[in-house]
Every structure is written in structure tokens, then in C-alpha cells.
Structure 1
Amino acid sequence: MEGVGTKESVLIEILLTRPNTDIKEIVVCYQKNYGRSLEKDIMDETSGHFKRLLVSACQGNRTELSPEQLQKAATQGVESVIDRNLAREDAQKLYQAGAKKIGTDESAFLQVMAVRHYYQLRATFEEYHRLAGKDILSAVKGEMSGDLEDGFKALVKCAKNRPQYFAERLHKAMAGFGTKDSTLIRVIVSRSEIDLQDIKDEYRNMYQKSLHDAVSSETSGDYKKLLLGITGP
């Protein structure tokens, strides 16, 4: 976060998409490498509800499913690990805080979207659509702005389909004039042993082009060889 301005998009990508264990490791490594608290730096460099969103993420406050619950979801279905009544209550809370009033109560969005696990959020988004007649992403775009909007959109997209979110990040990194190499490296390397194949599948579905071909056309030399070695065909 040093230098002129803070790269909010990087903070969003890293802090709002990782599990609590990763966040805790990042916090420890940040303190070790820079001799400063990541949470304090975020508080100094950001403001308002966006600051609250990042600080909450930095503290690892999101509820997460245990390995046993994840196995249960895989064998018995997602409904076995969500609370449908809570999803309806949260959807009502979001509706009351946004679409049903003049102005937006961002705190209500924080209370729901910064702490529920992703399966629960998906259920909440389903209930919100039934209640409001529109997708939660449309609501966020209509009710928020700036960095806070970008943060909540990232949360929604990750809750719905995390590989799709990262496929979009990669596409934007290579779109237009110049390539955002730091984003390209960070996403490909950090997801290489997690869900890179899923990201590749989503990339092809979304952009009718393989990630391999996209990276090949936007990079060169040893850098190109390195990235293609990770992404594979």
C-alpha cells in the first residue's frame, strides 16, 4: 500500500476471495515482512464502509464450513448445510436496506455479506431474487458506488462462482492497451494448485478462447514460457 494511492482492486481480490486460513497467513507474513499491521494500514489507507469491509475480511470473520459439512454438501446436497429461514431473513434485511428505501444502509449489507459462508450467501441471493424480483448483483450496482460497489460485486461473484470471478479478472488483465502483469501472475500462480482448471474452463466458456491462447498472445519470452508452463494447454 506504499506509494501514490492504494490499489483497491488488489485488496479486494486478495482479501475478499480467500478463506480465513489464507487471510491469517497473509496477516502474519505482512507483519513479518513490513513490520506493520495489515489491519492498521488498511484503516489508514481506506475509508468509510469500504474500510469496514476490508477490516472485517482481514480479521477472518467469515463463517466457513468444516470438512465434514463440505462432504455432507457433496453427498446430500447444498440444502443440507444451509439455513433457509436465515437466508429469507437476510434477504429481507438486504431488501429493506436497499431497494425498499431511499438511500442505502450499507451496514446491513456488511452484516450479511461479510460474515456468511458462500453456500449460505447463495441461498440468500436466491431468496432476494424471489423477494425483490431482481438479481443481487443488479441491486449492488444500483445501490453502491466506487470501491464499496467493487468489493460487494466481488463477494457476490465469488459466492456464486469463484472460478468465473477469476476468469473475469484474468480477461480484464489482458484486455485493452497493455497487460496487467502483476494480476496475471498473482491469479495464475495463486490458483494453480486450487482451481486453475475450473478457471480455464470458465474462461473458455465466457470468452470463446482458451486461457492458454490468451496468455500466449499477450506475453512473450521466458515470462510467457513460465505462465504457459503453469496454465498448461
Structure 2
Amino acid sequence: MRRRIIIVTAVHAPSAHFLPDAYKSLVAQDLPAGWDWHWLIQEDGRSDELAPHVPDDPRVTFRQGRPGGPGTARTLALAHADGEYIKVLDADDQLPAGALARDLAALEGDPTLGWATSRVLDLLPDGSTVGFEGDPEAGPIERGAVLEFWSANNYRAQVHPATLFARRDLLLALGGWMALPASEDTGLLLALNSVSRGWFTPEVGLLYRKWPGQATGQAAHTDPAERDARMAVVESRARALAYLRWQYPVTE
């Protein structure tokens, strides 16, 4: 019986034309024998603009739903997640060669790990890439380490939530992505780190596209009042989980 990694992608009309590039990066992934992937593309809303960009591949499922933001779309997609692991892939991003296999090897190799992340490069409009200094050391990330760093560094984590690869059951237990207009993936990252150890891979695991239409580039994303509210609820959730001593793996 084959085992599956579920790729979850939220998409809306402005980013739909990037889906073929994301698909090419998925097709190029090599997985160990007995493994495959299933790509769940969930539109944030209902339009006629996305279907022409969805690849014709039995490993790809496209669904639509009521608009509610990317976190809502991803969480709706989980209803059809028929695999052991969930990998985030935004519609406008790409996976470098080997990314899925490295994530899988980390969690299959250590049952005490709940999630994995990796190095990111910005993919600029001219096709060039830009990296960043300050990645953590390769290897395990202990419980609470992301929240501690994030709190001390103006709400910037040392690992990127767009690279998350997580155990499906753990992600579901946390309720999926937070019901926020933005930073919903940061909220999930901090929640995961509050209850479980993670892993960081220093090889590049994501090409993060920079383009004028992306949500994080809009003025509303940096509105101070909303940002403070988002950060407050993200932090409160993470600290509450730590206080309640929820943890993965479960111990007697």
C-alpha cells in the first residue's frame, strides 16, 4: 500500500497563473519507494478563473468554497487530506528538487518530531534568488524555541512557516490554520512548536516568489493596529498550549 504526502495550496484568482510553475516543481520531486503525493488545491472563493490553470493530473484535486482567507481555504482542504503528512505550498511558490524527500526523511527518521522546516530563498521577478543570514543550525528545534526567538525579534521567527511539513494528525489536533486575515501560518508554526519538537533543514526547501500582487506586500498587511492584534492572539495561543502541557508525542 502506497503512503501519501498531502500538498495543501490555497489560491485565489490573482495568483492562479502561477499554479503551473508550482506543479512543475512538484512533478520534479523524487520520493522513496512506496510514497507519492496528492495535491489539494482549494480556491478561496468561487470563480471561473482558476480551473484553466489547474493541471490535468489524477494526483491533483481542485475544490472551491466560501471565501475566508488562505487559512480557511487550507483548513477546508484538510477534509480531503488522505495521507500521513501535510506539506504547505502557496500557489505562487515552488519546491526545489529534493525538498519533499528531505522533510519526509526527517520525520520518518525521528518519531519525536512533529514538523519540519527548511531554508528559503526569495524568487525575484527577474528569476534571480536572494537568501538571508540567520538560519538556525541544522537539526532539531526544541519545544518553545520558535516562540522565544519570535518574541525577542519583533515577531519574526527563525524559520519560515511557508515551508511547514507536519504530521497530519497533529495539525488537525491544533485546528489547522488560525482564523486570521494574515499570519495564520505563523500562528500554526508557533502552535506546533509549543507542543512538539521540529526540524530545520539547511538545504533550500522553498522558492518564495516576490511579486506585486502577493498578500504580504499589501498595505493592509502592515497596518499597526491589525498587526498588533494578530501577534497578540498568535502569542496567546502558543503560550496557552505550553501552559496546558499539551505535547506530541503523547506520553503516559
The TM-score with structure 1 as length reference comes to: 0.28
Which of the two has greater helix per residue?
1
Structure exhibiting the larger radius of gyration computed from Cα positions: 1
Instruction: Pick 1 or 2: higher relative contact order, CA cutoff 8 A, min separation 6.
Output: 2
The TM-score with structure 2 as length reference comes to: 0.26
Which of the two has greater strand per residue?
2
